[in-house]
Amino acid sequence: MKIATWNVNSLNMRLERLLEWLRANQPDVACLQETKLEDAKFPAAAFGEAGYQVVFNGQKSYNGVAILARNKLALTDVRHGIAGYDDEQKRAIAATVDGTRIVCLYVPNGQAPGTDKYAYKLDWCRATAAHLREALASHPQLVVAGDFNVAPDDRDVHDPQLWAGQIHCSEPEREAFRAFLAVGLADSFRLFDQPPNTFSWWDYRMLAFPKNRGLRIDHILLSPTVASRCVSCRIDRNARKGQKPSDHAPVVVELAE
DNA sequence: ATGGCAATGTTTCATTGA
């Protein structure tokens, strides 16, 4: 089973690129973030033609998440948002696909330490970690994929000195990320030897991508039973190239049967 | 190849992202 996550930065703008990527990479499940589409405008038919069923939780202009799963797979128990956390922003959706619980997250950006948005980010992460603890208890086969907007450690930052204490790299954010792991989840990327300076996001400005000045902020976390089946995790840097890319690249894990 | 922000709506600038 192949599972991907990708912040598409507007599904409207990225639909053709995404469909092409699905054709080329053939994931069984894909988690999307920043669809920026209200549910009535979600292009479900286009994905149906491409062989995927879709569930989504969106809003106009901002945020928005979705899970795609191959038509042949059983998709059940769809849940929108974080249980017990009242949130106007559409940042979470979960579903069970072929017996594996898939949670798709778009963690708040946080703007800058000390701001209201930063406080919201940390609060959101606290609530979500508690939710994941319950999810793992009832779903031993758990995959949590998305844009976490946190670079877990300095290996995940092109210039750690430049980013020290900045948004995505501050210690409270890294603590929040470790709290996700403390639930009993593994960062799939670090289950394997990886090339240094592998990132999942590059600023559109200042030639950041050609200079590989990026951050690794998109992650796929796995419960122990799923981690034991995981045979690879890679970031598809090629998807950041060319005309009209998202500023994020997809992360992909492969699981043995 | 990989190129000096992009997407959206409030629209000809402001807001947000990371």
Q: Read off the pLDDT of residues A35-84 as tens digits, 9 standing for 90 and up.
A: 999 999 999 999 999 999 999 999 999 999 999 999 999 999 999 999 99
Element (H, E) at A230: strand A230-235
Residues in CB range of A72: below 8 A, 6 or more apart: none
Q: Is the dihedral of CA A103, A106, A112, A118 positive or negative?
A: negative
A154 forms beta bridges with none
Residues 55-114 of A with CB under 7 A from strand B: 60-62, 108-109, 111
Q: What would the two tokens of residue A55 be?
A: 């569930």
pLDDT at A257: 83
Kindly report each contact of residues A119-122 with a partner whose C-beta sits within 8 Å and lies 24 or more positions away, as own/partner: A121/A149, A121/A173, A121/A176, A122/A172, A122/A173, A122/A176
A216 touches strand B (CB under 7 A): no
pLDDT at A155: 97
Q: How far in angstroms lies nucleotide B18's C1' from the CA of residue A8?
A: 14
Q: How far in angstroms lies nucleotide B5's C1' from the CA of residue A109?
A: 17
Residue A104, burial from CB neighbour count under 10 angstroms (0-12, 13-18, 19+): buried
pLDDT at A146: 98
A28, A52, A118, A147: the active-site residue: A147
- Which of chain B's bases lie under 7 Å from a protein CB? 1-10, 16-18
The pTM of this model reads 0.97
**Alpha-carbon distance A244 to A89, whole Å?**
26
How far is Cα of residue A202 from the mean position of the Cα atoms in its chain?
15
Q: How far in angstroms lies nucleotide B14's C1' from the CA of residue A247?
A: 21
Q: What would the two tokens of residue A250 be?
A: 């997809």
pLDDT at A12: 96
A40 touches strand B (CB under 7 A): no
Low-confidence ranges of chain A (pLDDT < 70): none
Residue A18, burial from CB neighbour count under 10 angstroms (0-12, 13-18, 19+): buried
pLDDT at A160: 96
Q: Is the dihedral of CA A33, A36, A40, A46 positive or negative?
A: negative
